[in-house]
Chain A
Amino acid sequence: MPRLPARLALAALVAIATIPAHAAEPIRVGVTVSQTGPAASLGIPQRNTVALLPTEISGREVKYILLDDASDTTKAVANTRKLIDEDKADVIIGSSVTPASLAMVDVVAEKQVPMISLGASSKIIDPPGGARVWVFKTPQNDSLMADAVADHMAKHGIKTVAFIGFNDAYGDGWLTEATRALEAKGIKLVDTERYARADTSVTGQTLKMMAAKPDAVLIAGSGTPAALPEKTLKERGYTGKIYQTHGVANADFLRVGGKDVEGTILPAGPVLVAAQLPDSNPIKPVALKYVHDYDAKYGAGSMATFGAHLYDADLLLQQAIPLALKKGEPGTPAFRSALRDALEGLHEVVLTQGVANMSPKDHNGFDQRARVMVTIQDGKWVLLH
């Protein structure tokens, strides 16, 4: 008999100790990005950005669980399962690249967990419906950027274009979109060439493009490897206009490209030239804050626009989580499904890369405000008006 009260006391103590912990169930955000492998130049700034994110949203603690998928599709799927099954993630952010993101779609749909991809291709969210109701993405669709390029070309009297792109999903996506956008503007695609990210020479492709005598060349590559065709074109005396894609928007491209990439024209998210945006632009303060925070932590001029995609994903969550909390507790299916609904209903959310208006038909939500045309002058990105 005398032992019972002691047990009761212990049970009471345990109960008291567990109640507050239960009440403050944190929101778990699973992040899988490509910190190593071919897409490391995207994944590393994204990983760095996680450290800048708020650890509390509407009074709830937010826990970020960060994994590396090594730019590998299989690893990204394994990470997604681990984040959902073991870490009990309420939402997944990632992966950095399109192929890995596409493979994750079925997993998050099966587990009914919302996912915000950082991949570029519109294939991740289109066509809407089916498994994709759970999937959102923050980078601008290729089609939006391709339209901007075609627009600019048409305005500047360009009639013929040669295309050289990566021999992978990025180059494929751009070739499809550019073909469509150029055709709509009546511009002729006179030659298409491909090359690999690690190629040491593109002399053959360059000679063939120049033989077709295009008014402009469009290069679809990401990061420093996109500088190689441009340098070879200049070496061989090409004098026409050169267009790049938003995949090159980091400081390393300027470093490797040097004077050979002066005058290049490319579409980009507004965050790349945040300081040059007019004050009336609502994106300016949001983008400037990100640039400032990133540079303060990792060194001046170190910001790459790829990290901003992850920051934007978190800005979306900051809007959606308070709404979802009214419907359910984190860690429950009700919360995850409410979070998905809240994300889909977001309206006029100002991000670093644009203004998002989500709908059941559009899980990206960006319009023309999400892109600006930029050129390179004296080794700096300069906004074109």
Chain B
Amino acid sequence: MNSVDPTIFLILLQDGIVNGAIYALLALSLVLVFAVTRVVLIPQGEFVAYGALTYATLGAGRVPGSVFLLCALGIAACGYGFWAERRTLDLSATLRLLGETILLPAAVLVLTLWLAPQRAGIAVEAFLALLIVAPMAPYLYRIAFQPMAEASVLVLLIAAVGVHLAMVGLGLVFFGPEGSRGDAFSGATYTLGALTVPGQALWIVGATLLIMAALALFFGLTLRGKALRATAVNRLGARLVGIPTAQSGRLAFALAGCIGALSGVLIAPLTTVYYDSGFLIGLKGFVAAIVGGLVSYPAALVAALAVGIGESFSSFYASAFKEVIVFGAIVPVLLARSLLAAPEAEEE
């Protein structure tokens, strides 16, 4: 039983890569958000859980409670936006603010109330789930993080923990204590030698690759992407050359929200997701991001795959110690990093 049967090896590897792909997406968005805003985005996992559960609720033909949270967050963000920018508001800025924070959630609400009962199909429901969950992230940035954008990393981290706890509690109210599964995008399974690959697994790996490619193009070629990179390199410098850093922060959060919600929609058919599943999934993404020092995308990607594969194999050989192995593996990495890295200032 302990000799590695090649079939079992391949199945475990496949399982590990699919899980690793999700961790990679989360690690990516954690690095992105941290680089731009210095926020360690603990609630990233909640976007995954919200995305999955919203998609599953829509699939059951019901209106998810998260859409009302979106509206409430939109109104709060609007109120805060007016207060924060009360001295500089002109007509176009006012219209933009109203459009972003009132019109968008209102449109999503109407769309949801109209489409939810009539089971509009998997593609529409997946897109709707994205529309409901992704905009929450920039609203949360406006409400919780933008007012203290210059605070220390520790203060921002504490705020992130607060947002995480609030979102888990609300998740219980919206989705109930029991988990749900969504409908698969593709019911097909492909046989590859001894391997059976479910179509959904291909979707996950494909979407991960696509998102990475899109992000690389966005950062390399577009002005906004370059502005984000500039903010990440040096906030003050970016500001001095006229890059609005608050806007960069919202954009980073919006991307993270999109990626999180999409990950949720992608995994919902493969596993049962609970209102509090997000934290553990997010934590594994975080482990991967930490290995890259919260700044390196390639290191985070490799680490995410390693976490996924390590998890899969340890669940075969020593299932009782799976989490111990996965989280224990981070200790030597951190040790090596802190020994090898040049001493830096704790805070900028």
Asked if A211 lies at the interface with its beta carbon under 8 angstroms from chain B, I say yes
A235 to B15, CA, bound (A): 13
Q: A40 to B177, Cβ gap below 8 A?
A: yes
Q: Min CB distance, A155 to chain B, in Å? A: 29
Q: Which residue, of B178, B322, B323, has the highest number of chain A Cβ atoms within 10 A? A: B178
A40 and B172 within 8 A (CB):
yes
* A246-288 Cβ-contact flags toward B at 8 Å (1 or 0): 0000101101100000000000000000000000000000000
Is A208 located at the chain interface by the 8 A CB criterion? yes
Those of A200-240 within 8 Å (CB) of chain B: 200-205, 207-208, 211-212, 223-225, 227-228, 235
Binary interface encoding of chain A residues 178-205 relative to chain B, with 1 for a CB under 8 A from any of its CBs, else 0:
0000000000000001111111111111
Q: Which of B11, B317, B322 has the most CB of A within 10 A?
A: B322
Please determine whether A194 and B319 come into contact, CB atoms closer than 8 angstroms: yes
Check if A200 sits within 8 Å of B312, measured CB to CB.
Answer: no
Q: B239-256, CB under 8 A of A: which get 1 and which 0?
A: 000000000000000000
- Assess the A228–B15 pair: CB atoms within 8 A: no
Query: B316 contacts A44, CB within 8 Å?
Result: no
Q: Given contacts A198-B274, A207-B11, is CB(A256)–CB(B181) below 8 Å? A: yes
Option from B179, B267, B312 in Cβ contact (under 8 Å) with A225: B179
Q: Which residues of B contact A364 (CB under 8 A)?
A: none
Q: How many of chain B's residues have a CB under 8 angstroms from any CB in A?
A: 39
**Interfacial residues of chain B within 3-20, with CB under 8 A of chain A in the complex:** 5, 8, 11-12, 15, 18-19
A-B contact sample (16 more), CB < 8 A, given A43-B177, A224-B178, A256-B181:
A194-B319, A194-B320, A194-B322, A197-B274, A199-B315, A200-B19, A200-B267, A201-B311, A201-B315, A203-B12, A204-B313, A208-B317, A211-B8, A225-B272, A228-B271, A228-B272
Which residue of A has the minimal Cβ distance to B49? A198
Assess A211 versus B1: contact at CB under 8 Å? Given A193-B319, A203-B312: yes
Q: Say yes or no for B37: interface residue by CB 8 A criterion.
A: no
Assess A203 versus B281: contact at CB under 8 Å? Given A211-B1, A225-B272. no
Residues of chain B having any CB pair with chain A under 8 Å: 1, 5, 8, 11-12, 15, 18-19, 169, 172, 176-181, 198, 267, 270-274, 276-277, 279-281, 311-317, 319-320, 322-323
Given known A201-B312, A207-B11, A208-B316, contact A225–B274 (CB-CB < 8 A): yes
In the complex, A141→B12 CA distance in Å?
37
Which of B12, B270, B272, B279 has the most chain A CB atoms closer than 10 A to its own CB? B272
Sorted nearest first, the 8 A-B pairs with minimum C-beta distance are A204-B315, A204-B316, A40-B177, A252-B178, A41-B177, A200-B271, A203-B15, A194-B320
Q: A40-B172, A204-B313 are in contact. Are A223 and B19 (CB under 8 A)?
A: no
CB nearest to A164 among chain B residues = B319
Bound Cα distance from A45 to B180, whole angstroms: 18
Q: Is A127 in contact with chain B by the CB < 8 A criterion? A: no
User: A36-B169, A40-B177, A211-B8 in contact; A200/B277 too (CB < 8 A)?
Assistant: yes
CA–CA, A195 and B180, complex, Å: 18
Chain B hits for A37, CB < 8 A: 276
The answer to the question of A38 belonging to the interface, with a C-beta cut-off of 8 Å to chain B, is yes
A197 to B179, CA, bound (A): 11
- B323: which A residues are within 8 A, CB to CB? 167, 196
Q: How far is the CB of B301 from chain A (nearest CB, A)?
A: 19
The contact sample of 21 A-B pairs, CB cut-off 8 A, is A36-B172, A44-B177, A193-B319, A195-B315, A198-B274, A198-B279, A200-B19, A201-B15, A201-B18, A201-B312, A204-B315, A205-B315, A207-B8, A208-B1, A208-B316, A223-B178, A224-B274, A225-B272, A250-B178, A252-B176, A255-B178
Q: When the two chains form their complex, are residues B180 and A256 in contact, meaning their CB atoms are under 8 A apart? A: yes
Chain A residues near B311 (CB-CB < 8 A): 201
CB distance from B173 to the nearest CB of A (A): 9
Inter-chain contacts of A225 with B (CB < 8 A): 179, 272, 274
Given known A-B contacts A36-B172, A200-B19, A200-B267, A256 and B8 have beta carbons under 8 A apart: no
Q: What chain B residues lie within 8 Å of A201 (beta carbons)? A: 15, 18-19, 270-271, 311-312, 315
A interface, CB within 8 angstroms of B: 36-38, 40-41, 43-44, 164, 167, 193-205, 207-208, 211-212, 223-225, 227-228, 235, 250, 252-253, 255-256
Query: Shortest distance in angstroms between B315's beta carbon and chain A's nearest beta carbon?
Result: 3
Verify A203–B315 contact, CB threshold 8 A. Answer: yes
User: Which of the listed residues B18, B179, B279 has the most CB atoms from chain A within 10 Å of its own CB?
Assistant: B179
Give chain B nearest CB distance to A73 CB in angstroms.
17
A200 touches B1 (CB 8 A): no
Contact B319 A200 (CB under 8 A): no
Q: How far is the CB of A44 from chain B (nearest CB, A)?
A: 6
CA distance A211 to B274 in the complex (A): 30
Contact indicator A256/B272 (Cβ below 8 Å): yes
CB nearest neighbor in A for B273? A200
Q: Are B316 and A205 touching (Cβ within 8 A)?
A: yes
**Complex-state Cα separation, A197 to B317, whole angstroms:** 19
Nearest residue in B to A70 (C-beta to C-beta)? Answer: B169
- In the complex the two chains form, what is the Cα distance from A24 to B274 in whole Å? 46
